[in-house]
Amino acid sequence: MNSPVAQASGTFTFGDLTVNRLGFGAMRLTGKGVWGPPTDRDECIRVLRRAVELGVNFIDTADSYGPYVSEELIREALHPYDGVVVATKAGLLRTGPDDWTPLGFPAYLRQECEMSLRRLGVETIDLFQLHRIDAKFPAEDQLGELVALQQEGKIRHIGLSEVTADDLAAAQKTATVVSVQNMYNVTVRTAEPVLEACEAQGIGFIPWFPLAAGPLAAPDGPLQRIAAEHHASPSQLALAWLLKRSPVMLPIPGTSKVNHLEENVAAAEIELSDEEFATLSKAGSA
């Protein structure tokens, strides 16, 4: 598999940046608990470079992945990027493995943006996402700081993560929001209202934890049955379902292994029928 198969997922445009909809999430390019360096750094570099070979041109990361490790690997593997859109995030403080604390103090967000610029080796971050809205500070102050950075040319576009439809509407009073990143998959769809708001406005929706399928992936489950008909894996079907669910959907499955990456990207070429999509949708909401 050497052709840029990710192109089969279709495209989405953030303002002036067009990407293939099936992207890559770089959280797993770190140690256990998303803390420290990965077990096999060379394999992680190969994963990033192979992703681009396969047509993936949207990479999602965050300063908190490692922390910093993921951004550093992305620079080592892909700089100067050559048409690859790199999105990053700030707003979560890391104090240990699997420990995530929201921190939206505006000066901290500015500091983390400046540091991400250096780590990624760019003058402007393509898409900078507020990783969480921190309840300890006015949301308009957090978004306002990102707008200031945008006006200074350090951020091209602004996104949000883990928000409600009401949060999105409130944020839009301060900033132009081009993307929302929430947990969403075939079995977890609590973000449906904000997805619908994104669809109505042409805002990109980036589902994290996209491969979760739970009981649907059981040997006698609908995901396994339909996957067998497509000569595919249940995880590939989970991605195909997301891509069919909405034209604003940009799944970002992540991995630290090249063979798993290739399997994920191949999902871009799977076309579910309307009946198959409906079957999985109904089973996933049961």
Residue 263: the pLDDT is 96
User: Which domains are assigned to the chain?
Assistant: 5-209+248-253 (3.20.20.100)
Instruction: Quote the CA–CA distance of 190 and 242 in Å, as a whole number.
Output: 14
Residue 246: the pLDDT is 98
Strand partners, 230: none
Percentage, residues of the chain above pLDDT 70: 98
In tens, the pLDDT along 153-188 reads 999 999 999 999 999 999 999 999 999 999 999 999
Residue 274 backbone dihedrals phi, psi, to 5 degrees = -60, -35
Indicate if 68 belongs to the active site. Answer: no
Give the 3-state secondary structure of residue 26.
coil
In tens, the pLDDT along 90-131 reads 999 999 999 999 999 999 999 999 999 999 999 999 999 999
Give the 3-state secondary structure of residue 187.
coil
Contact of 61 with 71, CB cutoff 8 Å:
yes
Instruction: Quote the CA–CA distance of 78 and 230 in Å, as a whole number.
Output: 33
- What average pLDDT score do residues 43-59 get? 98
Residue 284: the pLDDT is 83
Percentage, residues of the chain above pLDDT 90: 90
Residue 213: the pLDDT is 63
Contact of 36 with 52, CB cutoff 8 Å:
no
In tens, the pLDDT along 199-247 reads 999 999 999 988 876 677 777 788 888 999 999 998 999 999 999 999 9
CA-nearest of 271, 247, 256 to 51 is 256
Residue 230: the pLDDT is 95
pLDDT category at 286 given cuts 50, 70, 90 is: low
Residue 218: the pLDDT is 75
Mean pLDDT, the chain, integer: 95
Active-site choice (65, 81, 108, 184)? 65
